[in-house]
């Protein structure tokens, strides 16, 4: 049966957030999420490998965006300038839908250990990808790792503020957070 | 049936590392781990809630040790000095057994996504605990979060070096890593 599935991926993400928020993650099924989205279970599994992944949709793309953004920084850019370029490139892709469901998404993840675990893993992966970009530019360890950590932290802090309705653009908030994190890192002693 | 179980916990940790390294994590069972340790499955579950936890034994204690160490720092200590006190306190507890099985433990975790996921979560939790200690001393956000991140990163980097046989003490390696990370963080721009 061919089905009409425009925006199937986005509908599944929104349905997953709704279903998990209403009845808890553990007692929810893929079938329920698919049904809420008006799609089949088979369609769900064409987009996501398991019940957790709709909540992290796009996070693999963020790594690719960081890499592409970092590559655009000039050859003589400082580590912080490379991270800024990566953030600028990644934050530019975020949509009004993502802003709208950000707070509920974060609440669902925060309420379930199994989801917080996946979130921590995704975050670590994103930091590794950015570290690799920095190292490939000749930035040594541990500078590359620290710069990447600040970048990923800024990315997440800015997303929380942006999806709570703060600020004119995600990109501006991310730059602001990165500056604040860097200032904090230089004033520890 | 009463069983003689001295060091049952440590034997289960070592058995888990052996069994998972030999046959892979997914195809291993709690019964096999218990049998390898010469203990019952019931004993396993008195010590650990699931198949993954033996590999992270002690990580909850690390948080408590960080908290206790941070509390011992003088009132006028800088954020970096508080983190150093936390590291000193936590690293002092590590035993020769932990040093001996460190490399195999890290190899098993690195080879399985499900274990890397748990490791990322444990690490995030440890950073949260240390952040809380710093904030309770009046150190504001994001300084507390950055200081805690550097501390947890130093803790893990030093453990890798120490269990690979480097250096006279874990504590010295942790201090060295923290200094290197802080130096890197101040030279990003």
Take residue A133 and report the two structure tokens written for it: 């970009």
- How distant, in Å, are the alpha carbons of A60, A111, B18 from that of A160? 19, 16, 42
Q: Chain B residues with CB inside 8 Å of A177's CB?
A: 142
Query: Is the separation of the CB atoms in A83 and A140 below 8 Å?
Result: no
Q: Chain A residues with CB inside 8 Å of B124's CB?
A: 116, 120, 123
Among the partner-chain residues A118, A123, A185, the one whose CB lies closest to the CB of B186 is: A185
**pLDDT the model gives residue A69:** 97
Q: What is the pLDDT along chain B (189 residues), one digit of tens a residue?
A: 445 566 899 899 999 999 999 999 999 999 999 999 999 999 999 999 999 999 998 887 899 999 999 999 999 999 999 999 999 999 998 888 888 888 999 999 999 988 999 999 999 999 999 999 999 999 999 999 999 999 999 999 999 999 988 778 999 999 999 999 999 999 998
Query: CA–CA separation, B143 vs B79, rounded Å?
Result: 8
User: Quick check: A185 contacting B, CB < 8 Å?
Assistant: yes
* Residues B180, A142: C-beta atoms closer than 8 Å: yes
Query: Tens digit of pLDDT for each residue in A8-52?
Result: 998 999 999 999 999 999 999 999 999 999 999 999 999 999 999
Which of B108, B103, B99, B97 is CA-nearest to residue B17? B108
Interface test with A, best of B53, B119, B146, B176 (most A CBs within 10 A): B146
Across chain B, how many H-helices and E-strands are there? 9, 0
* Local structure of residue B49 (DSSP, 8 states): S
Q: Chain B residues with CB inside 8 Å of A149's CB?
A: 149, 153
Query: Is the separation of the CB atoms in B69 and B87 below 8 Å?
Result: yes
Name the residue in chain B with its Cα closest to that of A187: B143
Count CB pairs under 8 A between chains A and B.
95
Q: Chain A residues with CB inside 8 Å of B180's CB?
A: 142
Name the residue in chain A with its Cα closest to that of B115: A121
Burial class from Cβ neighbours inside 10 Å (0-12, 13-18, 19+) for residue B95 reads exposed
User: Quick check: B124 contacting A, CB < 8 Å?
Assistant: yes
- Residues of chain A with pLDDT > 70, as a percent, come to 97
Name the residue in chain A with its Cα closest to that of B180: A142
With 0.80 as the threshold, say if the pTM is over it. yes
Q: Chain B residues with CB inside 8 Å of A153's CB?
A: 142, 145-146, 149
**pLDDT the model gives residue B74:** 96
User: Quick check: B143 contacting A, CB < 8 Å?
Assistant: yes
The residue-averaged pLDDT of A164-185 equals: 93
**pLDDT the model gives residue B3:** 54
Query: CA–CA separation, A69 vs A84, rounded Å?
Result: 9
Write down the ipTM of this complex.
0.86
Interface test with B, best of A49, A139, A142 (most B CBs within 10 A): A142
Query: CA–CA separation, A48 vs B65, rounded Å?
Result: 40
* Residues A120, B116: C-beta atoms closer than 8 Å: no
Domains and CATH numbers, chain B: 8-53 (1.10.10.60), 58-185 (1.10.357.10)
Which of A148, A143, A156 is CA-nearest to residue A131? A148
Query: CA–CA separation, B133 vs B12, rounded Å?
Result: 32
User: Quick check: B61 contacting A, CB < 8 Å?
Assistant: no
Among the partner-chain residues B79, B81, B188, the one whose CB lies closest to the CB of A78 is: B188
Query: CA–CA separation, B11 vs A43, rounded Å?
Result: 46
């Amino acid at each position: 049966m061919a089905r009409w599935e425009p925006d199937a991926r986005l509908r599944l993400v929104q349905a997953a957030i709704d279903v998990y928020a209403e009845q808890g993650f553990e007692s929810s099924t893929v079938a329920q999420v698919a049904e809420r989205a008006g799609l089949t279970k088979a369609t769900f599994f064409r987009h996501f490998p398991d019940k957790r992944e709709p909540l992290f949709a796009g996070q693999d793309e963020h790594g690719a965006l960081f890499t592409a953004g970092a590559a655009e920084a000039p050859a003589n850019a400082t580590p912080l300038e490379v991270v800024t370029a990566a953030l600028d490139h990644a934050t530019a892709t975020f949509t009004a839908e993502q802003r709208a469901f950000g707070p509920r998404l974060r609440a669902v993840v925060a309420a379930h250990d199994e989801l917080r675990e996946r979130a921590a893993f995704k975050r670590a992966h994103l930091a590794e990808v950015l570290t690799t970009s920095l190292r490939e530019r000749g930035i040594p360890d541990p500078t590359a790792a620290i710069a990447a950590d600040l970048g990923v932290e800024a990315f997440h802090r800015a997303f929380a503020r942006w999806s709570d309705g703060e600020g004119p653009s995600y990109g501006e908030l991310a730059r602001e957070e990165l500056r604040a994190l860097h200032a904090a890192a230089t004033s520890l002693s």
